[in-house]
Structure 1
Amino acid sequence: MDYDAIIIGAGACGLMCAVQAGFLGKKVIVLEKSDKAGAKILISGGGRCNYTNIGATYEQFISANEHFVKSAFKQWTVEDTINFFETYGIYGAEKTLGQLFPDGKNAKDVVEVFTSLCEEMEQQIVCNAEVVSIENEEESYQVKYQINGKTKTLAAPKLVIATGGLPIPKMGATDFALKFARKHQLNIIETAPALVPLTITGKDEDWFAQLSGNSVFCRVSNEDMSFEENILFTHWGLSGPAILQISSYWRRGQEIEIDLLPNENIIELLTVDRQQNGRIHLSTLLNRFYTKKFTDALGKFLPLTKTIADLTKTEMEQLEQTIHHFKVKPAGDKGYDKAEVMRGGIDTNELSSKTLESKKLPGCYFGGECVDVTGWLGGYNFQWAWASGFVIAQNL
């Protein structure tokens, strides 16, 4: 056994784990199914890579055990992420809501940090390596993999599963971690696409489709959570940051509520205008806040051609409901092809929160997206990947 550990998956968690293990003088080998390391990092943020969020705490993560990530985030903080990347020439430029992107650099530079360090420390990354079997024998893990039509076998006392989740199968995403966990009787929290656009079908489909391309700043809520960001109307439903965020909390069959003017009160605005010029049409009032196309579409629900002085009590109630309590019942979501992450995964009760080692499989660790830890949009999932990779490395 030439290696202290075999890491399966050269994504954010696996790469951080390999580098941190190298800093500790541990020798690892990383097996990656696709033809390059960090494939999902490379496409993140449209190739710009939102690599952390300065406001990340355990509160922005969805898990059956909301406290599980606390230990990892104490061991590897946002400050640690920032310092790590700054050491290798990547400085953060803060965008909206605490998101950090590489200043003047991109996702390729982020991946390059890890691949260069691995090369420097002789931590081997083997791409196009498809793992076909893993056996646990006599305190070692025997990993059989295929590369260029040949089957090879490795053995090491420790095993790290960092193969990610199910989103973006065309990038090589598989259910490898989930299958391996099930084989060893580890519980799985039900999985589903998260940070994913929502679809609208049926009688409302055409109304949403006609607004395709329109973006509106809104508050989107369900009974669990609310987010204030833009929503984007599409020819098949709804997307944009606020929709992606709420999708992680949405379940099929549920309604979501949209406040189309979250920082104003439409009735108060109307009352003021009535006193100053009650002869303006309702459409004129709404055009202050929305595109003409969007205002016109609201004509399905509102008497746009009436003057605001002539609106009845019932019509004003309808205006308030439409603008501040717009109800939508999505038919579904766009699936793993369009999802940014997976919700659910390996039950955190199966792992030590301090080390991320499996309780049933000594010497086997799980990190990153395959674990039941799902962050909000905006760099949070990368922070979990870096932290989990670091924690595992300390315990190899």
Structure 2
Amino acid sequence: MKQYDAIIVGGGACGLMCAAQAGLLGKSVLVVERNDKVGAKILISGGGRCNYTNLGTSIDNFVSENPQFLKSVFSQWTVEDTLDFFESHGIFGEEKTLGQLFPSTNKAKDVVAVFTQILYDTNQDIVLNSLVKAVEKNEEGFLITIENKKGEQHLKTKKVVMASGGLPVYKLGASDFAIRVAKKFELAIVPTAPALVPLTITGKDADWYASLAGNSVFSRVYNKEISFEENILFTHWGLSGPAILQISSYWRAGEEFYIDLLPQFKLEELIKEERNQGGKRLVSHMLNDYFTKRMVEALGKLLPIETKIASLSKTDAKLIIDTIHKFKVKPAGDKGYDKAEVMRGGVSTAALNPKTLESKQVAGLFFGGETVDVTGWLGGYNFQWAWASGYAIAQAI
């Protein structure tokens, strides 16, 4: 039986970076992947283009019970390190919006190919279509039980890296296996939930949202904690779009948030300007300057839009201003793990060494990527965390 320096559970972004870096350091690792190919989630990210980092990455772009935990890992592997690493293997980045970096080839498979080539060059092993059934600790290290078409196999190793991701997306083999392993070894867990996920609206407001399905509006979405300025998308079941996915990571069931539907203008000033010009136009005519016809019609169900601006009472003017700039949303729920980009929560950072990501109470057991209570914003941040955590673990291996 071949002895490995480490067995890596999961061939996603964190697992591949960990295996590649370990191989470059002369270590022997085995990557166990349940899919028929590695990097399944990388391949579908960014519509198959892979937004592989964000130039503006800082700890402020992450949701965690202890964001300060990231400082140690990010000091070891920076955005500059990501750029240098991929450029040295022929992948050059192109910035799109908000610091998001994509391969100039626009092909996620080129990102995966970097890792498979390194693993081939350094003689690392990968087993595909294989499910890790159990992780046991013994005096010599760990005994890993895997199951595939050959049946059950038992592998020995000194170190285990849990890089099996979170619960999104089931069809790509997502599972809570890393969480179950952590619980078995009595590590602290931060409750998990879907994040970067569309939100649903039910009840009396559902038809109003559904009537706008397909309408995209550049907005500022905000709560007491944070705000995001990007597009929102109305759907048949509620709200989606980048700004909604972002705020979802900060939303909890039963809470409200607000949408400024016209963040680049002040409606109070627009109304004042109209009045200075006589105020002969209807409110609907003014709103047509900024919104689609369908959006204005929908707002007409909430506002006195067929009133001349000169005739608006203070109460009606305030209603219009508040509705446009402070549109209150109270979602019924979210679309679940299968529509979520990532999982919030996971293995508590308090249970891990901030430099190595090794369990403080189980020597040789590491957790990286999405398995940890570190959730990045939309826009390449989660990949940067995956690369950095994979690198840090490899140094410890």
Change (3 A) 1:205 1:391: same
Q: TM-score, normalised by structure 2?
A: 0.99
Indicate the residue corresponding to 1:211 in structure 2.
Answer: 212
Indicate the residue corresponding to 1:272 in structure 2.
Answer: 273
Indicate the residue corresponding to 1:326 in structure 2.
Answer: 327
Asked whether the 8 Å contact 1:90–1:105 carries over to 2, the reply is no
Question: What is the RMSD computed on CA atoms of the aligned residues?
Answer: 0.8
The amino acid across from 2:240 in the alignment is S
Query: How far does residue 132 in structure 1 lie from its aligned partner after superposition?
Result: 1.4
**In the alignment, structure 1 residue 372 sits paired with structure 2 residue 378:** no
Query: How far does residue 99 in structure 1 lie from its aligned partner after superposition?
Result: 0.3
Find the residue that maps to 1:96 and give its secondary structure: coil
Query: How far does residue 133 in structure 1 lie from its aligned partner after superposition?
Result: 1.6
Indicate the residue corresponding to 2:313 in structure 1.
Answer: 312
Indicate the residue corresponding to 2:287 in structure 1.
Answer: 286
The amino acid across from 1:103 in the alignment is S
Indicate the residue corresponding to 2:180 in structure 1.
Answer: 179
The amino acid across from 1:242 in the alignment is A
Indicate the residue corresponding to 1:195 in structure 2.
Answer: 196
Distance 1:202 1:138 in 2: 57
The amino acid across from 1:258 in the alignment is I
Distance 1:22 1:40 in 2: 22
Indicate the residue corresponding to 1:363 in structure 2.
Answer: 364
Indicate the residue corresponding to 1:90 in structure 2.
Answer: 91
Distance 2:339 2:332 in 1: 16
Number of matched pairs: 396
Find the residue that maps to 1:285 and give its secondary structure: helix
Distance 2:40 2:105 in 1: 20
Distance 1:160 1:367 in 2: 7
Distance 2:59 2:154 in 1: 39
Q: For 1:63-212, what aligned pairs fall within 5 Å after superposition? A: 63-212=64-213
The amino acid across from 1:333 in the alignment is D
Query: How far does residue 149 in structure 1 lie from its aligned partner after superposition?
Result: 4.0
Q: Deviations over 1:346-396 (max 9, x none)?
A: 011000001100011101110000100000000000000000000000010
Q: Deviations over 1:324-364 (max 9, x none)?
A: 11001000000001000000000110000011000111011
Query: Which deviates further from its counterpart, 296-305 or 145-154?
Result: 145-154
Runs (5+) with no aligned partner, structure 2: none
Query: How far does residue 34 in structure 1 lie from its aligned partner after superposition?
Result: 1.2
**In the alignment, structure 1 residue 8 sits paired with structure 2 residue 9:** yes
The amino acid across from 1:280 in the alignment is R
Query: How far does residue 2 in structure 1 lie from its aligned partner after superposition?
Result: 2.2
Query: How far does residue 277 in structure 1 lie from its aligned partner after superposition?
Result: 3.8
Indicate the residue corresponding to 1:221 in structure 2.
Answer: 222
Distance 2:205 2:316 in 1: 21
Distance 1:22 1:112 in 2: 15
Query: How far does residue 139 in structure 1 lie from its aligned partner after superposition?
Result: 3.2
Distance 1:66 1:109 in 2: 31
Distance 2:14 2:372 in 1: 11
Q: TM-score, normalised by structure 1?
A: 0.99
Distance 1:354 1:214 in 2: 45
Asked whether the 8 Å contact 1:194–1:244 carries over to 2, the reply is yes
Query: How far does residue 150 in structure 1 lie from its aligned partner after superposition?
Result: 1.5
Distance 2:192 2:295 in 1: 36
Distance 1:355 1:102 in 2: 29
Q: Deviations over 1:170-205 (max 9, x none)?
A: 110001000000011111101000000000000000
Distance 1:364 1:256 in 2: 39
Query: How far does residue 134 in structure 1 lie from its aligned partner after superposition?
Result: 1.6
Asked whether the 8 Å contact 2:253–2:333 carries over to 1, the reply is yes
Indicate the residue corresponding to 1:388 in structure 2.
Answer: 389
Query: How far does residue 223 in structure 1 lie from its aligned partner after superposition?
Result: 1.7
Q: Deviations over 1:246-283 (max 9, x none)?
A: 00000000011011111211010111111124111111
Query: How far does residue 285 in structure 1 lie from its aligned partner after superposition?
Result: 0.4
Asked whether the 8 Å contact 1:346–1:371 carries over to 2, the reply is yes
Distance 1:328 1:130 in 2: 42
Distance 2:85 2:361 in 1: 33
Query: How far does residue 152 in structure 1 lie from its aligned partner after superposition?
Result: 1.3
The amino acid across from 1:343 in the alignment is R
Distance 1:342 1:145 in 2: 25
Q: Deviations over 1:219-246 (max 9, x none)?
A: 1011211111100000000000000000
Deviating above 6 A after TM superposition, structure 1's stretches of 4 or more consecutive aligned residues are none
Distance 2:289 2:337 in 1: 38
Distance 2:357 2:313 in 1: 61
Asked whether the 8 Å contact 2:50–2:106 carries over to 1, the reply is no
Distance 2:113 2:122 in 1: 14
